């Protein structure tokens, strides 16, 4: 084997080793991330549930709030079982369900306020009509 062929062989072997090391390092980092509990997402889900409770979602969107609570409990159970990917998924779903409960509650309250304003407007129009009939 001449010198040039030998250098090419050594360079190719070094590249394969470097690629293998990089892949191993990437897998190790990914595994390390997956073994960390998703505390930020759990906290965000808890805060979203608390916000929904303050908005009275239990009264107006109880199904969504109940789902959020169940999924948060499932996230905590998954953490106990060391399934951090599942815990992350449940935590994110719990947050979304709690936000949905808050939004539905806000929509119900807005509709009630709108209905009340329409009723008040109707009464005012009727009174105005009665008062203008007497002056004609």
Exposure string of 13-26, with b = 16+ CB inside 10 Å and e = fewer, is eeeeeeeeeeeeee
Contact 45, 95 (CB under 8 A): yes
Percent of the chain with pLDDT over 70: 73
Q: Compute the Cα dihedral for 125, 131, 133, 136 and give only its sign.
A: negative
DSSP 36: S
pLDDT in tens, 50-88: 999 999 999 999 999 999 999 999 999 999 999 999 999
* Higher-confidence position of 130 and 71: 71
Q: Is-contact 101 71, C-beta < 8 A?
A: no
Q: Which two tokens stand for residue 69?
A: 């609570």
């Amino acid at each position: 084997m001449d010198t040039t062929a030998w250098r090419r062989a050594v360079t190719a072997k070094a590249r394969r080793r470097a690629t293998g090391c990089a892949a191993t390092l990437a897998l190790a980092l990914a595994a390390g991330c997956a073994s960390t509990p998703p505390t930020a997402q759990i906290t965000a889900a808890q805060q979203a549930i608390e916000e929904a409770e303050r908005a009275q979602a239990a009264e107006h969107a109880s199904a969504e709030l109940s789902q959020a609570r169940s999924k948060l409990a499932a996230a905590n159970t998954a953490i106990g079982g060391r399934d951090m990917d599942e815990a992350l998924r449940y935590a994110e779903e719990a947050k979304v369900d709690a936000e949905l409960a808050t939004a539905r509650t806000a929509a119900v309250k807005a509709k009630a306020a709108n209905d009340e304003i329409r009723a008040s407007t109707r009464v005012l129009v009727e009174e105005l009509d009665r008062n203008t009939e007497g002056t004609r």
